[in-house]
Amino acid sequence: MVDLKPHIIIQARLGSTRLPEKVMRKINGQPMIGLQIERLKKTNFPIILATSVASENDGLAEYAESLDVKVFRGSEENVLDRYYQAAKTFGAKHIIRITGDNPLVDPFFITKQLKSLKIDEQRYYLFDGSNKKLPIGMAFEMFPFSLLEEACNKANSIYEKEHVTPYMHQNYPGNIVKYNFSNLTDNYKFRLTVDTESDFKLMQELIVNFKSQNKSLEEIIKILDENPELTKINQSVYQKKWDE
């Protein structure tokens, strides 16, 4: 069994095309990225922010450092290289990938999945699988540094360089062992990522009125089930796919 001592690497920048500067937008006086970091600290795993060298990210980097998060700044366009260099700089052997637009990722879901997992392969990739069941914005990915390095060295297309994990997700070399999350019920209909104004409005409702930043995945799903008007806020938002 592989000894898992992962680093969490959060991928975030302020140059989003759909909702610029979203990760620094405040809810209850705190930037979204801060809410996410405070949640993820409950895993007790080291946290790294991977952002770009663009000057617009200066405030984001300074804010993350004020929360005792290590920061790496790399390429604006080549996200895969930025992510790889962040892992290399801070000596991450296993990596949990999180994106900054998913503030309610559940730290206890992460730790429970890792405890229930028996990874006995060096070339592994843990993700939510092709039959997605988690609400959009509540998943994570995990993989070893060696695979990230391999992906970075072999990436040729813009698609691979922009999205970090296609090499693993598509199993390009053919010998990566995929692991999926266990014991899930189907709640993929819920959207808990922030890409648009309506997504942000839902997140505000969940945090301001329901204190969802302090709740588990199961508790948040229960809130959405019992308050169907919430899901109507962003039900028309189209989820962009990797290959579009």
> pLDDT tens for residues 90-139?
999 999 999 999 999 999 999 999 988 888 778 999 999 888 999 999 99
Give Cβ neighbours of residue 24 (< 8 Å, ≥ 6 apart): 14, 31, 32, 33, 59, 60, 63
What's the chain's Rg over C-alpha atoms?
17
In a domain, 240, yes or no: no
Which pLDDT belongs to residue 239? 62
Token match 């390429």: residue? Answer: 75
pLDDT of 16 higher than 90: no
Percent of the chain scored above 70 by pLDDT?
A: 96
In a domain, 207, yes or no: no
Q: How confident is the model at residue 199 (pLDDT cuts 50, 70, 90)?
A: very high
In a domain, 17, yes or no: yes
Look up the pTM and report it.
0.94
Which pLDDT belongs to residue 129? 87
In a domain, 196, yes or no: no
Higher model confidence: residue 119 or residue 198? 198
Q: How far is CA 174 from CA 34, 164, 177, 179, 181, in A?
A: 38, 17, 9, 14, 21
Among 101, 92, 82, CA closest to 199? 101
Tens of pLDDT, residue by residue over 28-71, are 999 999 999 999 999 999 999 999 999 999 999 999 999 999 99
Which pLDDT belongs to residue 4? 77
Residue 100's Cβ-count burial label (10 Å; 0-12, 13-18, 19+) is: buried
Taking all residues of the chain, what is their mean pLDDT, rounded to a whole number?
93
In a domain, 206, yes or no: no
For the record, the structure tokens of 132 come out as 């997605």
Which pLDDT belongs to residue 244? 35
Calculate mean pLDDT across residues 220-225.
97
How many distinct structural domains can be found in the chain?
1
Higher model confidence: residue 207 or residue 237? 207
pLDDT of 242 higher than 70: no
Calculate mean pLDDT across residues 145-171.
94
Calculate mean pLDDT across residues 72-78.
96
> What does the alpha-carbon distance between residue 150 and residue 21 come to, in Å, rounded to a whole number?
31
Give Cβ neighbours of residue 4 (< 8 Å, ≥ 6 apart): 94, 114, 117, 119, 142
pLDDT of 2 higher than 60: no
Contact 100, 57 (CB under 8 A): no
Higher model confidence: residue 87 or residue 156? 87
Cα three-residue angle 208-18-132, rounded to 5 degrees: 75
Which pLDDT belongs to residue 205? 98
Read off φ and ψ for residue 241, nearest 5 degrees: -95, 160
In a domain, 120, yes or no: yes
Q: What is the CATH number of the domain that holds 89?
A: 3.90.550.10
Owning domain of residue 136 = 7-190
Which pLDDT belongs to residue 240? 59
Which pLDDT belongs to residue 169? 93
In a domain, 164, yes or no: yes
Which pLDDT belongs to residue 175? 95
Q: How many residues does the chain have?
A: 244
In a domain, 226, yes or no: no
The H-or-E segment that residue 205 falls in is: none
Read off φ and ψ for residue 27, nearest 5 degrees: -125, 125
Calculate mean pLDDT across residues 6-13.
97
Which pLDDT belongs to residue 1? 43
Which pLDDT belongs to residue 237? 83
Encoded amino acid at 3, one letter: D
> What does the alpha-carbon distance between residue 42 and residue 38 come to, in Å, rounded to a whole number?
7
